[in-house]
Amino acid sequence: MTSSAGQINVRSLGHHAPAGLLVAVATVALILVPQRFGPSGLLVTVVVMQAGLIGAWAGATGTRGYIGSLIIGTGTAMSADTILALQSEPDLGPLAAVLALAFLAGILHQLSRSAPRRLATASLAGVSTLAVTLIAMSTLLLLYRVTDGSGFYVAIVVASGGAVAVGHLVDLMLPMPRITPDVPRGLTALVLSVGTAIAAAVTLSDAEGLMESLGAAMVGAILGLVAALLAVAASYIAAERRKLGWSLPWLQALIPLAGAAPVGYFLALQVLG
């Protein structure tokens, strides 16, 4: 297509379709693989998602120091996953130490870069954000444990992933009213994303009675809003890149899932006790 409208449509398709498909695949994997292979299967799934995010991060965000981001990201993900997998009782506390060490490694990374160290602050911020995202994604391991992989775990994962997938689908067809002219995201998709998460949480959490249904709806609304807002934020990152590439969908799909995981874990603790 050579027309302006055709170019816009093609770019919008490239912005939404790969990310929407990837988040759908990731959501299905987070549900089906643990059902088949248990916690070990979930660990492998999380590791694959983290590996894709690490490999895509520098190219998608423009973070300087590609090798450094790979090393720090890999070390952060391995440390967080290992600690959580070996815990006798679920506890997020040790992840604070992992984050602190990742930040220290990020500073040392900037000091070790050859002069001139251009965009050092932006590079440190990018690596730190990657570390936070990877640690947040590891929380899925704890979420599975505290829910025993029950319907509540499925409800949380589907609510988060479904909100992101529906948001991309709606914005592909009707990104109105636009949040900003430079990013193909609209308020209609944001509202429908939250609605999708509420429906998923109520339907899949096996809620019985009015109060349990209202509680499930509240959980879905919180997860849907968090996931939808993070998806919009990831779209801002993708919109800054002039060329579409393989790395952008990983950020658009996995940042919202990662960010929603600790929220889902906290909500599970409140609901299940």
Is the pLDDT assigned to residue 184 strictly greater than 80? yes
**Confidence at residue 273, expressed as pLDDT on a 0 to 100 scale:** 66
In contact, 257 and 23? CB cutoff 8 Å: yes
Stretch among 35-39, 54-58, 78-82 having the lowest mean pLDDT: 54-58
Tokens for 117? 């160290």
Q: Provide the residue ranges of all domains of the chain, joining segments of one domain with +.
A: 11-272
**Beta bridge mates, 186:** 178
| pTM recorded for the entire structure | 0.91
Q: What is the mean pLDDT of residues 190-198?
A: 97
The residue type of 55 is G
Q: What is the Cα–Cα distance from 120 to 185, expressed in whole angstroms?
A: 30
Q: How confident is the model at residue 1 (pLDDT cuts 50, 70, 90)?
A: very low
**Confidence at residue 9, expressed as pLDDT on a 0 to 100 scale:** 67
Quick one: which of 18, 39, 21, 17 has its CA closest to 30? 39
Identify the sign of the CA torsion 60, 62, 63, 65: positive
Q: Strand, helix or coil at 62? A: coil
Q: How far is CA 100 from CA 76, 93, 106, 265, in A?
A: 10, 12, 10, 21
Cβ count within 10 A of residue 187: 13
Tokens for 154? 């499925």
Is the pLDDT assigned to residue 138 strictly greater than 90? yes
Is the pLDDT assigned to residue 67 strictly greater than 70? yes
Q: Over 185-237, what HEC string results? A: EEHHHHHHHHHHHHHHHHHHCCCCHHHHHHHHHHHHHHHHHHHHHHHHHHHHH
**Confidence at residue 271, expressed as pLDDT on a 0 to 100 scale:** 84
Quick one: which of 255, 11, 268, 269 has its CA closest to 135? 255
Which tops the pLDDT comparison, 245 or 136?
136
Q: How confident is the model at residue 3 (pLDDT cuts 50, 70, 90)?
A: very low
* Chain segment 106-122, per-residue pLDDT in tens: 999 888 877 767 778 88
Composition of the chain by helix, strand, coil, percent to 5: 80, 5, 15
**Confidence at residue 267, expressed as pLDDT on a 0 to 100 scale:** 94
Q: Strand, helix or coil at 180? A: strand
Average pLDDT, the chain: 90
Tokens for 112? 């070790």
In contact, 85 and 43? CB cutoff 8 Å: yes
Is the pLDDT assigned to residue 10 strictly greater than 80? no
Which tops the pLDDT comparison, 87 or 210?
87
* CA atoms within 13 A of residue 238's CA, in its CB half-sphere: 30
* Chain segment 145-154, per-residue pLDDT in tens: 999 988 899 9
Q: What is the Cα–Cα distance from 189 to 249, expressed in whole angstroms?
A: 18
